[in-house]
Structure 1
Amino acid sequence: MIHGYIYTFTYRKEEASLFQMEMRSLFNSVNTSIILKSNEDVNPSRSPFIKERIDIMFEGDDLEEIIVQAEQMNLHDSTFKVRFVKYKDVKIGYDERLAIERKVGWSINGEADVRNPDQVFGIVLLNDRWYFGKYEKNEAEWLKHMKKPHTFSTALSTRVARAVANIAVPHPEGVRVIDPCCGIGTVLVEALSMGIDITGRDINSRVVYGSRKNIAYFGFEAEVTLGPISDITEKYDVTIIDLPYNLYTHVTLDEQFDIIKHARRISKKAVFITIETIDDMLEEAGFEIQDRCEARKANFSRQILSCI
């Protein structure tokens, strides 16, 4: 039986704002630490910032309590490995961590295999309490998606796109999503890889072609249509829009406002990515900003706004 989860995180300094907004969305938490105990069941490979997860099986005030409970485990023919989960606030040296892994491992009725185990268990010390459970690491799917056959210079990074998808759709079941300015499909690919029901659209036939090819390249399926957002008649739960930038396109502020107004018309919720402050336009279109952050890369900065 699982008694909650422990997550560890890793992020770069310039990603702190984006990390914290994703935390608020996925975990409903304002935690800024690199470790979190939560009852929320989030696949660790969903987030670009989750490093690993322990599914808590048992806990104790000291290591001996963990060992006593581990002695009740019987893995039969299954092989296993015990891994000490280290993070920067834990002041336990390498030799001691290795000794803890061995001590707990010896107490489990099963065959240890450090190279290719059937199961991996994690043990961690958090706030002077020990936790033990099934261990799962992040598979970093977004890294594979960096190698797209079609690219675009102004596209979001796969890390930012994945975080945006999580902010927009923390609970994908039954949620219909559209990206009506999808470009070459960076957000589409990340969303589809997490099981989000999303469709794409763009007014540029060249990028629509590239988006379809990118989606197929990674083995996903989604509808990507050609045309403006104004022609959309269906309703969606969420719209994700990386607004066209004046810096790179001939889109005017009036045209951006038109996109925002149609996003309000077709969806209950919208997440906007913009290089400009658009608060006034959002308010005029009838949106209320629920949360926001800034995603930085070198001297370039984007605002991400979650609106209802």
Structure 2
Amino acid sequence: MNNHTQLPQYIYTYACSEEELSLCQLERRSLFEIETEKPIIKSAVKLDPSRSPFIKERLDIMYESDDLADICKQVEDIDLGDQTFKLIFMKINDLEKDQKISYKGQRAVERDVGWHFVAEADLHNPDHLFGIVPFEGRWYFGKYQKSEAVWLHHLKKPREYSTALSTRLARAVANIAVPNPEGIKAIDPCCGIGTVLVEALSMGIDIVGRDINPLVTDGSRENIAYFGLNGDVKTGPISDVTTHYDVAIIDMPYNLYTHATPEDQLSILKHARRFADKVVVITVDTIDHMIHEAGFSISDRCVARKSVFSRQVVVCE
């Protein structure tokens, strides 16, 4: 059956390690409100695929059908003028092992569909990229966009310390906290050297930073400036925050630079409850009792592992 989609729809594919699966799924629930074990989703939410450290590509659906021959017919309607194209068979899909299409078969699909374009193919420097993918028993065709690993550019910072969050975790946490940045004001009141700030600012999130330690706020400012970003970082205790924010991201202090007792941690949460509607807490220890005592309820969570070390990411509202 031929079905030309009426509302814009998008297909995203995912890749992550076993250690990152819980974090990846929490980020996906936050961005798309979709829970699935599959590495591929369909959504009406349009998102730059480079925002997530786990999204590999996005397909902007133009045509869908049960029948590949039907897709081929519809492709003939595309007018590229004198511009060139390339068609990519998306390798990440939901086909079962016994249904998987071989490398040779994938190239055959690309050739069969590509032959129907009224335009010239260019494998190396095309003007337009298109993709095709099997999903939930149907074929989907559309404009193709590959994710760029923006977070990779942020790995080497001028100022670092060993217990800082990884850039991948920081980027995912920023997405979990602010899935839709429009009109949202965020704060990282224990920002350390600014790993979360760099990722959030690079995605256009309106976020400010603060830390009680002047050594790390200097480092945070230096890191933000190093990547050509603009961000406001103040030095001072969380108790001095008087502005209201939609969301706060708190990587609980626990290291040599900013040692916090359980009483300090509870105080941080109580202050966050005062000035933020939603808080995403990153913690090494289980602090559910503190979160509840501070007046929050836990709406979602995950565990982010790295070898033997693990952190909890807890969404509180």
* TM > 0.5 fold call: yes
Partners of 2:53 and 2:311 in 1: CA distance: 18
**Structure 1 residues 88 and 40: alpha-carbon distance in aligned structure 2, compared to 1, 3 A threshold:** closer
Structure 2 spans left out of the alignment, 5+ residues: 1-5
What are the superposed Cα offsets for residues 102-141 of structure 1, whole Å, 9 maximum, x if unpaired?
1211211122110011110000011221100000111010
- SS in structure 1 of the partner of residue 120 of structure 2: strand
**Structure 1 residues 159 and 187: alpha-carbon distance in aligned structure 2, compared to 1, 3 A threshold:** same
Instruction: Note if 1:304 corresponds to 2:313.
Output: yes
Superposed counterparts of 1:49-88, under 5 Å:
49-87=54-92
What are the superposed Cα offsets for residues 159-182 of structure 1, whole Å, 9 maximum, x if unpaired?
000010000000100000000110
| 1:92 matched residue in structure 2 | 101
| 2:193 matched residue in structure 1 | 184
Assess if the C-alpha contact under 8 Å between 1:23 and 1:31 holds in 2. no
Instruction: Note if 1:285 corresponds to 2:294.
Output: yes
Partners of 1:246 and 1:11 in 2: CA distance: 28
Counterpart of 1:35 (choices 25, 37, 40) is 40
C-alpha displacement of 1:52: 0.7
What are the superposed Cα offsets for residues 206-246 of structure 1, whole Å, 9 maximum, x if unpaired?
11111111111111101001011101111111000000016
C-alpha displacement of 1:89: 4.5
Assess if the C-alpha contact under 8 Å between 1:2 and 1:55 holds in 2. no
C-alpha displacement of 1:247: 7.2
What are the superposed Cα offsets for residues 234-292 of structure 1, whole Å, 9 maximum, x if unpaired?
11110000000167753211111111111001111100000111111111111011101
Partners of 1:207 and 1:61 in 2: CA distance: 56
Assess if the C-alpha contact under 8 Å between 1:81 and 1:119 holds in 2. yes
Q: Which moved more, 1:230-239 or 1:103-112?
A: 103-112
**Structure 1 residues 283 and 205: alpha-carbon distance in aligned structure 2, compared to 1, 3 A threshold:** same
State TM-score, norm by structure 2: 0.94
- The letter for the 1-side match of 2:210 is R
Q: Which moved more, 1:97-106 or 1:214-223?
A: 97-106
- SS in structure 1 of the partner of residue 50 of structure 2: coil
| 1:25 matched residue in structure 2 | 30
Partners of 2:9 and 2:93 in 1: CA distance: 22
Partners of 1:178 and 1:5 in 2: CA distance: 31
Superposed counterparts of 1:206-285, under 5 Å:
206-245=215-254, 249-285=258-294
CA RMSD of aligned residues (A): 1.3
Moved over 4 A (4+): 246-249
Q: How many residues are paired up?
A: 308
Q: Which moved more, 1:220-229 or 1:96-105?
A: 96-105
- SS in structure 2 of the partner of residue 80 of structure 1: strand
Q: Which moved more, 1:85-94 or 1:41-50?
A: 85-94
Partners of 2:30 and 2:193 in 1: CA distance: 26
Instruction: Note if 1:4 corresponds to 2:34.
Output: no
Assess if the C-alpha contact under 8 Å between 1:3 and 1:58 holds in 2. no
Identity %: 61
- The letter for the 2-side match of 1:85 is M
